[in-house]
Chains A and B, each alone.
Chain A
Amino acid sequence: MIRFDRATKKYPDGTVAVDELELEAPTGQITVLVGPSGCGKTTSLRMVNRMIEPTSGTIWLDDTDTASMPAHELRRKIGYVIQHAGLFPHRTIVDNVATVPYLLGTGKREARSRAMELLERVGLDPAFAKRYPAQLSGGQQQRVGVARALAADPPVMLMDEPFSAVDPVVRDQLQDEFLRLQGELGKTIVFVTHDIDEAIKLGDRVAVLRVGGTLAQVAPPAELLSRPVDSFVAGFVGRDRGYRALGFTESGALPTHDEPTARLGEAVPQGHDLVLVVDGEQRPQGWLDPASARGTVEESDLLRGGTLATQGGTLRAALDACLSSPSRRGVVVDEQGRLLGSLTAREVLDLIERDEEPA
């Protein structure tokens, strides 16, 4: 657990970066600090490992006042990941990862074999071990940055916009893998971002800070979306928050209708309505317009673009499947990706409305 106890950072020119921050980051959870530029989120993060010393107040690491031990010792117990990874350009990847164990006096052989395990764990080919950072892409470097932060197995990790310098596709991948990794490791993480979507995706709890370094609201993401405390938080979490909040509501059993299907390679069916095409194992492949195809059903005839809702998934996924489907009928599949049936947006809306009735 990390606890900010009236932590304040004032600069000599009178600027207040963080103002009496009271916040707790529970053990084993991801606490995201989010807010506009100048809200003191990075300053708050850096006060934890004393890259910035608080002007007043205390930051507790479990029962220890972080100011009570030498800064370098504190820092070796805390993993730290920054935006551009900040790898050491003159060291190989494996030595970058093994840096903290080296500092702690771990033998070279042991530190390196642990580093190799970690590289694999963050999804990097061990062949990268002997390369230098500049030979890796931004996303790969960021994975190395995460591996380096994990190398001494610190209970606490601080992450300062670690995924914001990579392109959106890679960012999404890194976020998913980060969540998977956290599922295995259960670290106490404080994560800074300016991106509310990232905050909502990753955070167990999200703390919204306002300019001047005060806490506006701290809550689980679903609550933040559904019950922002004031207009600042409401404005910051964004316009389509109602829709995004559905991402936190499990749909329960979706009522589905049977959906007529056609198979790849079979004759194009008769009719005017769009037909769902599945493969040999009943997995949806796309929609077919019978009027524009001849002979047999080919891959190239398919209309793609519809997302799939998984039975037992979220209402957001169900509604999105309906809205994105060329036929306006949302496709529902089981966990193995096999077709269960379809439903319409209207039916999902009924579910939403029923869901919101007081129990």
Chain B
Amino acid sequence: MSTAAAYAVPDLAAHVVQAASSSPGAFFSYFLDNRARTLDWLWAHTWLSVVPVLVGLLLALPLGWLARRYSFVYPPMMSITGVLYTVPSIALFVLIPPLVGLDPLSPLQVPIALSLYSTALLVRVVADGLAAVPQDTIAAATAIGFRPVNRFFKVELPIAVPVITAGLRVAIVANVSIVAVAGTIGMTNLGLLFDEGFKLSTDTPYYPPIVLGIVLCVLLALVLDALVVALDRSLTPWRRAVRR
């Protein structure tokens, strides 16, 4: 974070309460003092976590289908997406604007980078989910007279849902944490709380913004994860029927 600290320094002097910064009281008073601003950041954080996963899923569906359909596509696609995922997020945030011709501080660089990460993660998930659909079922669907597109949406994709939603859970939770990194380059989200905590800790440690950031990130991740689980359950009634 220190490398990016110079980017944007919000005026924070008014909020500084140096004494007893590790007590719960200091934490709550910090939150109440900065309620409106924090909720804005939480809201921005939520969008930044969710939308790229949806974009990633939309891109991963055809790519995953390709990797599944043409087996020679699978290894290179998995290598590329794997390498992509190992590029540090902060580097990707900085690299994207020149690569796609955006302003260096464009608000789009973060969602673009996160969409890339989500796609990278979900391509494998979609390909493996489709591969897990029993061959007998696919053969039966074809023999019955499903055309390929119809078969994909009515048979293969629904059966792959459990694997895909498992991947979505990982992607969305990972995004919550990666989005926070973007706070350190000045993007509006809960990451700014860590930046602020860092800057206010020049002489003695000042914890409230950092704790608040962690708590909100964890809560957000839990809520989004629960939503994906709920989505999974609503799409796969047949799996619960079997467990009974």
Contact = CB atoms under 8 A, between A and B. Distances in A.
B partners with A: yes
Interface of A: 49, 51, 72-73, 75-76, 78, 80, 82-92, 99-100, 103, 131-132, 134-135, 145, 148, 158
Query: Nearest 7 CB-CB pairs, A to B?
Result: A86-B140, A76-B145, A80-B143, A86-B136, A75-B145, A132-B238, A134-B242
Contact of B140 (A80, A90, A131, A135): A80
A90 B136 contact: no
Given A90-B238, A131-B241, A72 B137 contact: no
A33 to B, nearest CB: 16
A91 B237 CA distance: 9
A148 B155 CA distance: 15
Given A49-B143, A80-B144, A86 B137 contact: yes
A66 to B, nearest CB: 13
A7 to B, nearest CB: 18
A75 B145 CA distance: 5
B242 A132 contact: yes
A85, A90, A103 interface centre (most CB from chain B within 10 Å): A90
B241 A73 contact: no
B236 interface: yes
A50 to B, nearest CB: 9
Contacts of A84: 134, 136
B141 A88 contact: yes
Interface string B135-168: 0110111111111001000010011010000000
Contacts of B142: 51, 75
A89 B140 contact: no
12 contacts: A51-B139, A76-B145, A82-B136, A82-B140, A86-B134, A88-B137, A90-B159, A90-B161, A90-B238, A131-B241, A132-B241, A135-B242
Given A72-B145, A80-B143, A134-B241, 16 more contacts: A82-B139, A86-B136, A87-B140, A88-B137, A88-B141, A88-B159, A89-B137, A89-B238, A90-B155, A90-B158, A90-B161, A91-B238, A103-B144, A103-B150, A132-B241, A158-B143
A88 B136 CA distance: 9
Given A72-B145, A72-B147, A83 B136 contact: yes
A175 to B, nearest CB: 21
Contacts of A90: 155, 158-159, 161, 236, 238
B238 A75 contact: no
Contacts of B161: 90
B231 to A, nearest CB: 15
Contact of A75 (B134, B143, B150, B236): B143
Given A83-B136, A86-B136, A89-B159, A100 B145 contact: yes
Nearest to B157: A90
A49 B242 CA distance: 33
A103 B146 contact: yes
B159 to A, nearest CB: 6
A34 B145 CA distance: 26
A76 B143 CA distance: 8
Contacts of B141: 86, 88
Contacts of B137: 86-89
Given A90-B158, A90-B159, A82 B145 contact: no
Contacts of A86: 134, 136-137, 139-141
B139, B159, B236 interface centre (most CB from chain A within 10 Å): B139
Contacts of A134: 238, 241-242
Nearest to B158: A90
A284 to B, nearest CB: 45
A75 B136 contact: no
Nearest to B133: A89
A103 B241 contact: no
Contacts of B159: 88-90
Contacts of A83: 136
Contacts of B144: 75-76, 80, 99-100, 103, 148
A34 to B, nearest CB: 21
Interface string B25-68: 00000000000000000000000000000000000000000000
A86 B133 CA distance: 11
A82 B143 contact: yes
A92 B155 CA distance: 13
A131 B146 CA distance: 23
A89 B236 CA distance: 10
B154 to A, nearest CB: 9
A225 to B, nearest CB: 32
Contacts of A51: 139, 142-143
